[in-house]
Amino acid sequence: MKNNVNIMSKIVCFSFCLLACFSCKHHENEYHSITDKIEAESKNYQGTSISSEAHIGDIKTIEITEGEHTFLIPERKSQITSYACTECHTKSLEQMQTKDFQQAHWDVKLDHANSNTMNCLTCHNGSNMDHLTSLTDQSIDFNSSYNLCSQCHTTQFEDWKGGAHGKRIGGWAPPRASMTCVNCHNPHKPHFESRWPARFNTQKVKERE
Amino acid sequence: MSDSNNKWFSLNIGRKDREASKSCSCGKTSGGCGGSSNAHHITEDEFTEAAIHASIGEERTKDGFEQVFDVKMDRRSAFKKLTASLLIGAGAVSTSCSVISGDESKEKAQIDWEEQFKGNYKLMTDDEKKATVDRLVRSYQLRTGKTISMSSKNAEDNVLFGYAFNISKCQGYMDCVNACVEENNQDRDSQMQYIRIHEMKDGKGFNFNEADDNYYHEVPAEGHFYMGTQCFHCDNPPCTEVCPVQATWREDDGLVVVDYDWCVGCRYCMAACPYDGRRFNWSKPEVPEAEINKNQHYLGNRMRKKGVMEKCTFCVQRSRAGKNPACVEACPTGARIFGNLLDPDSTIRWVLENKKVFRLKEDLGTEPKFWYFMD
């Protein structure tokens, strides 16, 4: 029994020495902070095998390049139910607003900035209904309507290009696909509605009673 | 379980002469090889002995009294260990050696046995990971008749996951919480949730004492802002340090994960986390069969048991496949941004480099990979 204890204590001693020599914490504090680590480890970034392409799904996309950012946005024109506009807008607006024509767009009520700043014709061109129009009367395609929004919303535009504003489609990996302005904001009423939260935790209430 | 390259305890240590009795040479795992040779049959004695050996190891050289009373453990745990392994052994023996029970129940018993004595996931080779995942899938199939898909995908090179949260965008809708509960098969009864959305008063800063994380009124409420917390996947996680059994660790892509089968439920990690990011299963998690998300990962949303820790894994089953976590996908405001911190062209990197970002309790040195920012 004593012999055993002796051997045991030797083993314990030895393993303690081993532990001290080969401590598990080698690489701790290799970098001062996570930002240093990210910077150092991404210097020779080779890319990954992971792609998000499959997760974009059936959404038809177009590639755009804005500044140094190139990414995909959803194609818009095929998603607008009554496009092309000229299918109905065969006559001039004055003629179409008479009683002989069926009333349309009754559900559109402009709630975007105030009437001093905006009306329908700030964005729409009465003589070219199939295109949008910039503040300086340049034609803007419905597919690149972000060019219209970015005239006023410059900071949001910068954030959107970089990826801080606007939701990603699919996944985090390349290729990047982002929602464009009108995918989340109704251009006629761009603010988000207030509503009730999606859920309420009844158990938490009981636990805290 | 008789592989000699196991990194954890296996039944054969120092007992090479008994090897033949551990598994059938026919290669079938269902336990019923049907061979007439007696040498391949595990007798009840051998099985019980193996079970005892599994639970008390080298102490079995001592006599019965010493085994129980002369070891450096408290008596209660000694008794517990002994009884537990005897029961397991007896159970396994009765089902796998029984002539009456069918092949399925034998297979079930075999799976249970192998799952009971498998090693820590962190130490497994890729083959062993695949084997345990296959066992879990088969076991689920045997029990419910439903097929799930479970992945054991490892961390990818050149990937470090990071998350950014825009506090000026969040409106408190809680769609993220809903998506998280459904994606991660969280217990519906206890309403345990990984994500908390805190409603805070404008002008008071991050005042968690006065914040409400269980509001129910129309949102966004006047004069309030919203911010979400969950596991921040610290790069220097204190929770993994305190785990006495190393059931939680940081993966190479930065995810802090839990091996639910290795966790003993001591909740040290819960106490060590400065961000309240960890959750405990006080009851057996129940999810209606129709609502179970069958796209699972071993370290992610597979079904948990009672008494183990769990937490946000940045939806490992999704993120390692290139998808965004469920909360990111569900957020209607785009307040949540997820991506690869090592990719200089990723959107998360743009946010970190161009927005004024901050993290919670930065001074602790935990290096959370979850940044907050404002427009």
Q: How confident is the model over B162-180, as pLDDT tens digits?
A: 999 999 999 999 999 999 9
CA distance A32 to A26: 15
**Strand B196-201 with B161-166, pairing:** unpaired
Tokens of residue B323, six digits: 């998808």
**A187-206 pLDDT, tens digit each:** 999 999 999 999 999 999 99
**A47-89 pLDDT, tens digit each:** 999 999 999 999 999 999 999 999 999 999 999 988 899 888 8
Task: Give the A window 52-111 contacts with B, CB below 8 Å.
Answer: 52, 54-55
**B60-107 pLDDT, tens digit each:** 566 555 555 566 667 677 677 778 778 877 776 666 666 666 888 889
- Stated pTM of the model: 0.78
Among B342, B343, B370, the strongest candidate for a mutation testing the A interface, having the largest count of A CBs within 10 A, is B342
Confidence of residue A2 (pLDDT cuts 50, 70, 90): low
Residue A32, C-beta contacts closer than 8 angstroms, at least 6 positions apart? none
For residues B138-151, give the mean pLDDT. Answer: 94
Contact status of B280 with chain A (Cβ, < 8 Å): no
CA distance A149 to A74: 16
Which residue shows structure tokens 């946005």? A73
For residues B337-364, give the mean pLDDT. Answer: 96
- Domains of chain B (ranges; CATH) run 16-117 (no CATH), 161-373 (3.30.70.20)
Here the ipTM equals 0.84
Task: Give the A window 16-35 contacts with B, CB below 8 Å.
Answer: 33-35
CA distance A32 to A60: 44
CA distance B347 to B164: 10
Using only C-alpha atoms, chain A has a radius of gyration, in whole angstroms, of 30
pLDDT value of position B88: 75
Give the residue, A19 or B182, on which the prediction is more confident. Answer: B182
Query: Taking 90 as the threshold, does the pLDDT of residue B135 lie above it?
Result: yes
Q: Chain B contacts of A171, Cβ < 8 Å?
A: 318, 321-324
**A136-172 pLDDT, tens digit each:** 999 999 999 999 999 999 999 999 999 999 999 999 9
Q: Which amino acid is residue B261, in one-letter code?
A: D
Q: Chain A contacts of B373, Cβ < 8 Å?
A: 164
Query: Taking 60 as the threshold, does the pLDDT of residue A13 lie above it?
Result: yes
Task: Give the B window 13-32 contacts with A, CB below 8 Å.
Answer: none
Query: Taking 60 as the threshold, does the pLDDT of residue A24 lie above it?
Result: no
Residue A199, C-beta contacts closer than 8 angstroms, at least 6 positions apart? B174, B177, B178
